[in-house]
Amino acid sequence: MIYLDNNATTKVDDRIVAAMQPYFNIHYGNPNSLHTMGQTARKAMATALNQLYAGINARDNDDIIVNSCATEGNNHVLMGIYYDLIRTGKKKKIITSSVEHPAVSHTLKFLESLGAEVSYLPVNTEGLINIADLQHELTNDTALVTIMWANNETGLIFPVTELCAITHKAGALFHTDAVQAIGKVPVDVQASNIDFLTFSAHKFHGPKGIGGLYIKEGLKLTPLLHGGEQMGGKRAGTINVPYMVGMGLAMELAVAGLTDEDSRVRSLRDQLEEAITAIPDTIIIGKNYPRTPNTSLVSFKGIEGEAMLWDLNKNDLAASTGSACSSEDLQANATFQAMSMDTDLAHTGIRFSLSRFTTQDEITAAIKIVKDCVQRLRAISTYTKL
Ligand code: PLP
């Protein structure tokens, strides 16, 4: 199988599997236990935390709360802001983009049902927001702006440093969902001055079921999970030490591999796009804007995305019609709807996402598979050349 669905999830690096292994069945102590087994696990956790701090350039006094996934991290920030600033009447509003992952957008819908006011910034047909719209929406009663670092469907990179500065000027806090940015573009919490940032190990060759929430020094959030004193009382629940070891190393390797991602992976992605644009009536969404180097969202006129996906799959190529989390739903996904794509375009989107394990041979083979597939499906559809 040629795997070009790395924005959905990634292969766990063999080095990471090996590093995690002993913490399942040899050093399996609870890191809160005082005996040697517990302390060995605790040391491994400390090393992993250091790797996470270094990976995003966090300060010593910043917090990184290790949790179960980015969905949890996003819920923690949004619910925490609701409990601390909105429910208490200090502020009223949260501002977001209309192309956030459901881990943000569905949580905000829930908060709206509890009385929070949420403003959704529109995007243009390429998926970009207008900075003037943010400036217009920011008022004294804005608690938080939450805008993703990079979009999971298009790979478009949002100017988070600039957005954060504008947000701070208005006295509000800034959160970014950096799930699709880590390991693809440099993420530096000090340079960007971001207040809250979420990430998830399985998007950068670590295991599924573990993620992190960065909180800038001096800021506090009501916990999402109450219980034991793990994570300094900020996130209860026994810590998954093997996965944390895996996430720490995954972060280190992801950051070390950034140059490769930007040159080798980008050039493979560009090769794929160049070959695809040679096929008549294809569009690459966001091609002329800053994008993550591994992602390509393509529309092949006249070919239903689902049909294409299954034909590619039959030919051993794994891609996606949209976010893996929503692809069971045959409706055009919310991101495409927000981008005001016409219905035809919205149903023809195929996302190819590469990783550091993608090879030249795979891209060469993928190009042939895609070309054959388009020819086959257009021959049996109502497609007429533009
Ligand atoms: N945010 C973005 C941008 C994503 O792409 C995803 C997963 O696709 C998530 C959040 C959810 O991450 P997790 O699976 O760790 O909950």
Residue-range definition of the domain harbouring residue 369: 2-9+258-379
Q: Among 227, 256, 285, where does a domain finish? A: 256
What integer pLDDT is reported at residue 336 of this predicted model?
76
Give me the CATH number covering residue 170. Answer: 3.40.640.10
Verify whether ligand 1 is closer than 6 Å to residue 101 (CB atom).
yes
CA distance 50 to 46: 6
Per-residue pLDDT, 370: 97
Relative to beta strand 282-284, strand 173-177 is unpaired
Single out the residue in 256, 288, 314 at which a domain terminates: 256
Same domain, 245 and 129: yes
Non-local CB neighbours of 102 within 8 Å, separated by 6+ positions: 323, 325, 326, 334
- Residue 77 Cβ inside 6 Å of ligand 1? The answer reads no
Provide the number of structural domains found in the chain: 2
Whole-angstrom distance, CA of residue 278 vs CA of residue 299: 13
Counting residues of the chain whose pLDDT is more than 90, the rounded percentage is: 87
Pocket of ligand 1 contains residue 269 by CB under 6 Å: no
Q: Is residue 384 a part of any domain in this protein? A: no
Residues 116 and 206 in one domain: yes
Residues 117 and 202 in one domain: yes
Å from CA of 176 to ligand 1 middle: 12
47 and 167 together in one domain: yes
Q: CA 374, 272, 199, 39 torsion: positive or negative?
A: positive
Quick: pLDDT tens for 176-232.
Answer: 999 999 999 999 999 999 999 999 999 999 999 999 999 999 999 999 999 999 999
In terms of domains, do 216 and 269 share one? no
| Dist. CA 321–CA 345, nearest whole Å | 12
Q: Which of 69, 164, 325, 373 is catalytic?
A: 325
Prediction pTM value: 0.95
Q: Is residue 386 part of a domain?
A: no
∠ CA 310-315-318 to the nearest 5 degrees?
60
Q: 263 in a domain, yes or no? A: yes
Ligand 1 centroid distance, CA of 78 (Å): 15
Q: Read off the tokens for 17.
A: 């599997």
CATH code assigned at 309: 3.90.1150.10
Same domain, 165 and 214: yes
Tell whether 70 and 200 lie within a shared domain. yes
pLDDT band at 339 (very low <50, low <70, confident <90, very high): confident
Please check whether residues 352 and 368 belong to one and the same domain.
yes
For the question of residue 164 being annotated catalytic, the response is: no
Domain boundary among 256, 276, 298: 256
Instruction: Write down the pLDDT at residue 26.
Output: 97
Nearest to 319 by CA among 336, 333, 335, 298: 298
Residue 385 lies in a domain: no
Would residue 271 count as lying in a domain? yes
**Structure confidence at residue 325 (pLDDT):** 46
Helix intervals (H) in 170-300? 189-192, 241-256, 258-260, 266-277
Cα of 183 vs centre of ligand 1, distance in Å, is 14
